Amino acid sequence: MASIGAMPDGKRMSFDAMAGPDLDPAVYKTLLKSTKAIPWKIDWATMRFAYIGPQIEALLGWKQDSWISVEDWATRIHPDDRDYVVNFCVAQSQAGVDHEADYRALTPDGGYVWIRDVVHVERNADGGVDSLIGFMFDISERKKTEQELLQLQRDLEAMSFEDGLTRIANRRMFDNHLESEFGSAAKSGQPLSMIMLDIDHFKQFNDRYGHLQGDDCLRRVAAGLKSLATRPRDIVARYGGEEFVLLLPDTDAAAALDYARRCVAELAELQIPHESSSCGEFITASLGVGTVVPSEDMSAVGFTEQVDQMLYAAKRGGRNRIEAGS
């Protein structure tokens, strides 16, 4: 009978005992080596380890003979995982259900290793639980890959709400924030303001200076506008083309008009030449401003349309001006 190591009480356990009557011990040994699994067995009546593979020390740093009972297993689970894993495994074992659990196993130096425990419930002749036989797998690399994929997903989600050219919020993010802030304003009774800004004669700018200079112009304008929106809930977004929008929660009409004037001043300070403009030698913009305290018969879309009408009123009125609605 081939021995696979000493148990904590000094006795020996065979491959036959671990593998069971239907599995050739030689095949079992080969499986262990090829999968790098760490086998273990717990006696249900005593809740003590009947066996745990010697590889456990290389993996976790705990000596093989230190694994005496399930208490040793439980205390070596990361505190953040312990309660769930222990409760889950005990409940499944009591029900006689094979199961598996992923958790962080602690090492003596305070680190941890991601483990997957695969557990088989052995029953006695009466149908009760006799023992638990399982395998521990090191899944640290898998977890690392999962975390990297999760971070990549988060990055992609962030990018989906960011304008690729200007690196400010895009139309999608603006629409989401508008719905949220409109609902909040309706509940709180606080004013919500919006500023729409369109760069004057931008097509002529691109025609004269080229699209690369046009892109640079948009980036500089975006950065300038973003510097004005300093409160956590303020948002500056590229609404489309050369059009930008500022959403200003808890901002009344007077404050919104002041914001718009600061936008005009910010563009003037940029001093981006625009020799093809009829509005001046530098980049200018037309702005529409609106403020609302939402009521039941109003919608976020309707509010946006009102501000958009203010913007076009500014453009029809000669551009390079602010048109504000009540």
Helix (H) / strand (E) element for 52: namely: strand 48-52
pLDDT digits (tens, 9 = 90+) for 191-210: 999 999 999 999 999 999 99
Tell me the pLDDT band of 33, cut-offs 50, 70 and 90.
low
> What whole-number distance in Å separates Cα of residue 128 and Cα of residue 122?
8
Task: Residue 38: count other Cβ atoms within 10 Å of its Cβ.
Answer: 22
Both structure tokens of 82: 């312990």
Both structure tokens of 4: 């696979």
Helices (H) and strands (E) counted in the chain, each on its own, are 11, 12
Task: Give, as one character, the DSSP assignment of residue 188.
Answer: H
Residues 111-119: contacts with CB under 8 Å, at least 24 apart? 112/78, 113/59, 113/60, 113/138, 113/140, 114/138, 114/139, 114/140, 114/142, 114/143, 115/139, 117/89, 119/89, 119/92, 119/93
pLDDT at position 6 over 90? no
Of 15-29, 42-56, 126-140, 179-193, minimum mean pLDDT range: 15-29
What integer best gives the mean pLDDT of the chain?
88
Among residues 306, 263, 257, 282, the alpha carbon closest in space to that of 201 is found at 282
pLDDT at 29: 62
Tell me the pLDDT band of 231, cut-offs 50, 70 and 90.
very high
* 71 contacts 90 by C-beta, under 8 angstroms: no
pLDDT at 304: 96
Which range of 55-59, 94-98, 283-287 scores highest in mean pLDDT? It is: 283-287
Q: Judge if pTM exceeds 0.75.
A: no
> What whole-number distance in Å separates Cα of residue 324 and Cα of residue 257?
7
pLDDT digits (tens, 9 = 90+) for 134-191: 999 999 998 898 888 888 777 766 668 888 899 999 998 999 999 999 999 999 999 9
| Catalytic residue set | 242
Question: Which one has a higher pLDDT value, 242 or 29?
Answer: 242
